[in-house]
Amino acid sequence: MLTELRIAGFGGQGVILAAHIIGNAITLVEKGYATMTQNYGPEARGGAASAALVLSDEPVLYPYLTRPDILIAMSLEAYTRYGPEVKEGGFLLVEEDLVQLDALPQVPKCKIYGIPATRFAEELGKKMVLNVIMVGFFSAITKAVSPEACRAGVEHEVPKRFLDLNVKAFNKGYEYGLELLTHQGERTHPGEEMIPGLELENHTK
């Protein structure tokens, strides 16, 4: 099984750290293979940030993404830029307060889930942990990586003094994801007949 994952957002959101947590979880805990690449061009300074991960149960040969199975979009720009690439039937996980789905002329035909991660992070006391909340959410919704492995990944990547906070953040995202699945089931976006952005908003309220 080969899964292509892109995590994108803006500078300061911890996109690369999120990718590292998942990479660690896959390679060090689940004994799978993960290859992470990122953009290094001048466009990666300050503004947009993106990391790509190829996850597999055998050694990864081709290092780049062809079409992501999963996109974690933490900013509107990330969504508009990378949204159209997502495979049909894949997963699109968004920071729902920052991403308006109708910003793309055609909403991607994939399973879309939203979470107010920034707000949750602020409630936990540090806006910076939104990335780890997104990782928890990703683990719950996609099941691509187990929560135990992700928690170990968090432990590996985060300085000790921030560990408790980050584990809380992970759990928050994970539980919210499970809850969403229980209440809503799988949300398949069929096209014009619903406007997921609005519905997501309804749900979170």
Partner 1 sequence: MHAEKESVLTGTHFINGDTACCEGLLAAGAKFAAGYPITPSTEVVERFAQRAPTVGGLFIQMEDELAASITLQGMVWAGQKSFTVTSGPGYSLMMEHIGYAAMTETPCVFVDVQRGGPSTGLPTLPAQGDMMQARFGSHGDYSTISLVPNSPQECFDLSVKALNLAEKFRVPVMFMMDECVGHMTEKVVIPEAEEIEVQPRRRTSKKPDEYLAYEVGEDLVPEMAHAGEGYGLYVTGLTHDKKGYPLMNPKQQRELVTRLFEKISRAADELTIVEADGVEGADVVVVSYGITSRVAMRAVHLAREKGLKVGSLRLICVWPFPEKLIRELAPKVKALIMPELNMGQVVIELERFAAGRTKVISVPHPGGTVHDPLEILEAIERGAQ
Partner 2 sequence: MSTLIEPTALTNPVEKVLRNDRIPTIWCPGCGLGTTVNSFAYALMASGADLKKTAIVSGIGCSGRVSGYVALDSFHTTHGRAIPFATGLKLANPELTVVVYSGDGDLTSIGGNHLIHAARRNMDILVVCVNNMIYAMTGGQAAATTPGAATSTTTPYGSFEPELNIPQLVDAAGACYVARWTAFHVKQLEKSMTEALKKKGFRFIEVLSPCPTLYGRRNGYADGLAQMKEYKEMAKVKNGAPTYEVAITHGQPIIVGKFVDRDRPDYLTLMRSQLGAHYHEVAEVGVGCGDESEGKEGCCSC
Residue 121 CB, shortest distance to partner 2, in Å, is 10
Ordered DSSP codes for 160-204: GGGHHHHHHHHHHHHHHHHHHHHHH---B--STT--HHHHHHHHH
User: Taking a C-beta distance cutoff of 8 angstroms, is the pair 63, 1 a contact?
Assistant: no
Span near partner 1 by CB under 8 A; candidates 39-47, 93-101, 160-168, 176-184: 39-47
E strand or H helix at 116, and its extent? none
Residue 27 CB, shortest distance to partner 1, in Å, is 4
Phi, psi of 201 (to 5 degrees): -60, -45
Measured from the CB atom, is 67 or 106 closer to partner 1?
67
Measured from the CB atom, is 63 or 84 closer to partner 1?
63
Structure tokens at 158: 């985060």
Interface with partner 1, residue 190, by CB under 8 A: no
Question: From the list 22, 52, 132, 149, which residue makes contact with partner 2 (rule: CB under 8 A)?
Answer: 132
Three-state SS at 46: coil
Question: From the list 8, 9, 15, 23, which residue makes contact with partner 1 (rule: CB under 8 A)?
Answer: 23
- List residues binding partner 1 (CB under 8 A): 19-20, 23-24, 27-28, 33-41, 60-64, 156
